[in-house]
Amino acid sequence: MRDVRDDFPILSRLIDDRPLVYLDSAATSLKPQVVIDAVTNFYTHQTSNVHRAMHLMAEESTRDYENARKSIARFFNADEHEVVFTHGTTEAINLVRRCLPRVERVVTTVMEHHSNYLPWALDAGGAVVGVADDGTLDLDDLQRKLSNGADLLAVCHVSNALGMVNAIDQIIDMAHRAGAMVLVDAAQSAPHRPVDVKALGADFLACSAHKMLGPGGVGVLYGKSEHLEAMGPWLLGGDMIEQVHFDGYEVQPPPHRFEAGTPAIEAVIGWGAAIEYLSNLDMADVQRHDSELVAYALERLTQIDHVRIVGPTDPDRRCGSVSFQIEDLEAHGVARMLSNRSNIMVRSGFLCAQPLHEALDLAPTVRASFHVYNRSDEIDALAENLEAIVALI
């Protein structure tokens, strides 16, 4: 894959005359100039609402908004009417939780992001699948939970805390054989590898723009047509209705019945630009680049005394990130030292996956995560700084 760093203007920033080393893309990714330009163009030349007016600027905005939906549908190999815009992965998951009828028996896993754990394990009282000591999903436990009866399985494609890649094809097949629908949290997989919803056979899939080089405040829920048709709206308001009368209303067909109110138009348009950017890079090449960075990070970090990798050390089982701990040092302190010493930006804490940390008896961890703009020399900088920090113990 070509070197894309010049496409990301923020990487020219110097802090105290030193370059930025951004290793926090699993939390949110940097934005290429084409995305910034798309958002700026909307504000500068065509600010207008969508689906509501007949004037030129409204037509331009609606065209670009719906073109972004087309790009996203192509990206995931979905049909346009199966692509519902939301404010992010969290809202997409909660939309399914609130609107999907006749879902009483739910299965989820302990490795989920809080956004996919709270709605199902706690709010819906679902059964929770455990993990092995290395964080691998316990497929025998999954089979037992599914065999007890399930209407829906909610599961991540890639763990945001461990970078663990789940055997999602096998998992979906297991769930479908048990008669359960499957909701896939693809927030951590879609930025790094091809995701084909038809090949997967997932019933629902959720992800966010801001992890995929796009703006914040927008995400998508993919749903099979028959499921979306069976779902009523969550929010009531403008644009999700065909007609409103004194005594009732008629909703639009999917996806618009789920997009009440004024959407994040500029964010959607910016995400469309990001999707085209990633598509032009070729997601197979993006995946190879990610795999090389993860493998190199594991190689470097496993050589440092007192650094413990959290999760599998096999790079083929990881995607996008490497999490670790330093013996006798608190995770937030490590992250702060990396930032203060060398402008290395990493995430620390429970990583929105506290139940997983508790299941593995882990204190908060440090996570270095990557995207298309990262290079091996930045991993070298991380490793060298960790060696210096360890020397202080």
* Active site positions, annotated: 352
Name residues whose C-beta falls within 8 Å of residue 29's C-beta, 6 or more positions apart in sequence. 191, 210, 211, 212, 213, 214, 371
- Supply 152's token pair: 């829906």
Q: How far apart are CA 115 and CA 86, in angstroms?
A: 14
Q: 291: left (phi > 0), else alpha (psi -120 to 50), else beta? A: alpha
Rg (Cα) of the chain, in Å, rounded? Answer: 22
Q: Sheet with 347-349: list strands edge to edge.
A: 307-310, 321-326, 365-369, 347-349
Q: Where are the alpha helices (DSSP H) in the chain?
A: 33-41, 56-76, 89-99, 114-117, 139-147, 168-177, 197-200, 225-230, 265-281, 283-301, 331-342, 354-359, 376-390
| Measured CA distances, 392 to 84, 327, 329, 346 (Å) | 51, 12, 10, 20
**Closest to 299 (Cα-Cα) out of 242, 216, 379, 371:** 379
Q: How many CA atoms lie within 13 A of 45 on its CB side?
A: 10
Q: How far apart are CA 161 and CA 145, in angstroms?
A: 23
Name residues whose C-beta falls within 8 Å of residue 275's C-beta, 6 or more positions apart in sequence. 68, 71, 72, 75, 212, 214
DSSP structural state of residue 166: P
Strand, coil or helix: 161: coil
Q: CA torsion, points 377, 382, 385, 387, in degrees to nearest 10?
A: -100
Q: What is the largest CA-CA distance in the chain?
A: 73
**Closest to 324 (Cα-Cα) out of 152, 135, 167, 141:** 135
**Closest to 45 (Cα-Cα) out of 60, 55, 29, 30:** 60
